[in-house]
Chains A and B, each alone.
Chain A
Amino acid sequence: MLIFHLGGVQASLFSLLTIIALILAFVMLGSHWIKNHILAFAAESWVIAALSAAIGLSGHYPELVFIAALTALFRGTLLPYLLVRIVNGLGQNREFTPLLQPASSVVLGGFLVLFSYAVAEKLGVRMNLMDSIAVLALTAMFSLKLIGFLMLVLRAEAVSSILGLLVIENGIFLGSQILVPGMPLLLEMVILFDLLIIVSTFGMLIRYLHKEVGSTSSRDLTRLVG
């Protein structure tokens, strides 16, 4: 298994990339500007692509290099491009109504990472994995998941909701590259395509929202209650 046979350099490289991806999530939490969020998401996707490629080359999983290329193309380029197009179409640059100031949400995000680490550590101790990269991977997976949820909760703009979901997906993708690099190729490819369909769907729904409801903020979606 990959996590057991890592050299010091490889382990450091993978850890570094994982941590960069995590930090980029905090860039998203800490900014008011939607374009910044999209850029940070694109950068995070490229980091994950680099991680896939590194794991593929060093762990002898040639298909991961292919996945890395697809990740860079889809998650790193195409999805951000689609999102930028949506944002430009709406003329909505700034997230106006955050429940929390960016600084507070960054602090909250920090606590979520601590919580994720606590869960990952408990698992790591039980499974005798404390000296491997697995705990870091689990921490990143759970933190990105929780940060994604935090973005869904705090942000009102429709585009921010999509970004929150994409961050959740990125977290799972990042963790699974390290923990289960041998996961069937077909599955990873289909999930990538699936993501593309979801974002296009969201794009269309946002257009309808804009046209029919007159707003793309979830704070204005209050017709249906009870």
Chain B
Amino acid sequence: MIWNVLYAIWIITALAMVGSWISRRSRVAEGLNLAAAVIDFVLVVVLLIATPGHPITALNHYLLLDDFGVWVMFCLAIVYLLASLYAIGYMRWMHGEETRLHRFYALFAAFALTMFFAPAQNNPGLYWIAIDLTTIVSAFLVGFQRAPESIEAAWKYIVIVSAGLGLALLGTVLFYWAGTFILGPVYDMTWANLALVAPKAEPLLLLLAFLLVLVGFGTKVGLAPMHTWLPDAHSEGPAPVSAMLSGALLNCAMLGIVRYLQIIEHTTIEATARTALVVLGAFSLLVAALFISRQTIIKRLAAYSSVEHMGVIALGFGFGGPLGVIGALYHMLNHSLTKSLVFFGAGNMMHAYESKEIARIRRVLRFFPRSGALWLAGAVAITGAPPFGLFLSELTILRGGMQSANPWAVWWMAVLLIVIFIGFLNHFRAMFFGPRPEHAPHLKLRFVHVAPMAVALAAILLLGLWWLPPIWAHLAAIATQLGGV
């Protein structure tokens, strides 16, 4: 029964994809896509409630359903829903693209579909393939506008990420090889089997394999110094695509790193591996802080903020322990919601002021009181200020870090978060309270441009004011399952 829900999610998203493609009518396509997003969201909530407290497999152990995977799908479903709603308003602004819009929605649904595949794979190889497919589909979305910049971003994205995923594939093969010494030459490659053999495998081989996987999937997650594709791809795609890349895709890739971390738990290399993850996270924060402070392009600002938050999540999982893991999981949800809000706001303002440059966007509140206020609140939220959800999750991660083997990273993280807070909000200060612009924007924002932002803001405000006990209990259960206790 529960598997049928998962299959239904895939089938409905696939139907939206095919329907959008063959309908060739943009209005039909956007309706189909939105309908699929709504149904997917409802079904994922059903999964969230109905998934038993232990991992279950199906289809000859090829599929896996566990609370962690469903949690990642939940974050994805929220972003997909918000982005689909926002896309209706945003994509109609694209002049001259009316005849190609149905393709956009087909690709958009395909992108969501590949991301719904990834968390449910029980075979690390098939998970790798799912992540690879997300790259291919999203590269076309990034390059959808066919401007030289978008094509350049799409090209860099696919080359860098493919090279990174090549490393991850090598790591996957080495993991399988390590298992053949214990389970024999042919065995089922599943997360559980690899976790079974890891304590008996040669530590040096395991460490090499893990580092390859970490760097490989770390490229896709956008951890520095492999983050270089991220600001390009996130800033050049249409705003709904940026939200999906940032709020959904990065989590899907992070899931792989965590699953491999789970495999090497209880081996002699665990401490080294965790430290490697913490170092990558800490370095990502540094890179993000430096580039955020001196950024001039509005969507690149938001993109570097994604590098920052993936660094924070990496730190949470790297610290481990119940607090670290719970904080990281909560951070995934909060980041998905808040980053969508920030990208939607950036998309609105880019169109209103017809410029990507921060220097040309001025006095936002005066011209766009509602959208501007929501966007400003989102900016405050994304820097981790109270009373929003990200504050709670970052605080939890910091608390987890105190008890971890790498307490130095707590201080590092705290200082850089303050630097980012100042640097990020300084840009917003300029945009909201700077001198009057020469040309006042004349764009009229409609309901669909603002409503998704309001929904996201309400959610992160709620999550920040009140960490719902069932959510805490659920995340604690996931942390126990992941073994990070």
Contact = CB atoms under 8 A, between A and B. Distances in A.
Interface string B167-209: 1011001001100110011111100000000000010110010
Interface in A188-223: 190-191, 194, 197-198, 201-202, 204-205, 208-209, 212-214, 218, 221, 223
A214 B147 CA distance: 12
Interface in B200-255: 202, 204-205, 208, 231-232, 235-236
A224 B152 contact: yes
A180 B178 CA distance: 10
B204 A198 contact: no
Contact of B139 (A1, A205, A226): A205
Contact of A184 (B133, B158, B189): B189
Interface string B327-358: 00000000000000000000000000000000
Contacts of B208: 119, 123
Contacts of B169: 169, 172, 191
B146 A212 contact: yes
Interface residues of B, number: 52
B152 A223 contact: yes
Interface string A160-203: 01001100110110011001111110010011001001100110
Q: Output the residue of A1, A119, A191, A221 with the most chain B CB within 10 A.
A: A221
Interface string A34-77: 00000000000000000000000000000000000000000000
B89 interface: no
A158 interface: yes
Contact of B204 (A126, A158, A164, A183): A126
Contact of A168 (B152, B166, B188, B232): B166
* Majority-rule SS of A interface residues: helix
B270 interface: no
A149 interface: yes
* Majority-rule SS of B interface residues: helix
B397 interface: no
Contacts of B153: 224
B125 A184 contact: yes
A86 interface: no
Contacts of A183: 125, 173, 176, 189
Contact of A172 (B136, B173, B184, B185): B173
Nearest to B175: A180
Interface residues of A, number: 48
Contacts of B129: 187, 190-191, 194
Contact of B136 (A169, A184, A197, A218): A197
Contact of A152 (B159, B167, B185): B159
Contacts, number: 135
Given A2-B185, A123-B205, A212-B151, A224 B146 contact: no
A175 B212 CA distance: 15
B170 A180 contact: no
A27 B92 CA distance: 51
B154 interface: yes
Contact of A213 (B126, B133, B152, B176): B152
B381 to A, nearest CB: 25
Given A194-B133, A202-B158, A172 B170 contact: yes
A127 B205 contact: yes
B148 A213 contact: yes
A141 interface: yes
A126 B123 CA distance: 28
Contacts of A202: 158
A94 interface: no
Contacts of B146: 208, 212
B156 interface: yes
A208 B143 contact: yes
Given A172-B170, A212-B147, A224-B149, A184 B156 contact: no
B202 A187 contact: no
Contact of B132 (A145, A198, A205): A198
Contacts of B180: 1, 179-180, 182
Q: Output the residue of A141, A165, A187 with the most chain B CB within 10 A.
A: A187
A148 B166 contact: yes
A85 interface: no
A165 B177 contact: no
Contacts of A218: 155
B145 to A, nearest CB: 10
A119 B208 CA distance: 10
A181 B152 CA distance: 39
A205 B151 contact: yes
Contacts of A190: 125-126, 129
Given A194-B129, A224-B236, A165 B151 contact: no
B298 to A, nearest CB: 13
A172 B167 CA distance: 9
Contacts of B186: 182
Contacts of A201: 136, 139-140, 158
Contacts of B123: 184, 187
Given A127-B202, A168-B166, A226-B295, A176 B173 contact: yes
Given A1-B185, A187-B126, A221-B156, A149 B163 contact: yes
Enumerate the 8 nearest inter-chain pairs by beta-carbon distance, A residue then B residue, closest first.
Answer: A182-B186, A187-B125, A182-B185, A168-B166, A224-B232, A221-B152, A213-B148, A176-B173
26 contacts: A1-B184, A119-B208, A122-B204, A123-B202, A123-B208, A126-B205, A145-B170, A164-B163, A169-B169, A179-B177, A180-B185, A181-B185, A182-B180, A183-B125, A183-B173, A184-B188, A187-B189, A201-B140, A202-B158, A204-B140, A205-B154, A205-B155, A212-B151, A213-B148, A218-B155, A223-B148
Given A169-B166, A184-B189, 11 more contacts: A123-B202, A175-B173, A180-B176, A180-B185, A182-B187, A187-B125, A198-B136, A202-B158, A218-B155, A221-B152, A223-B152
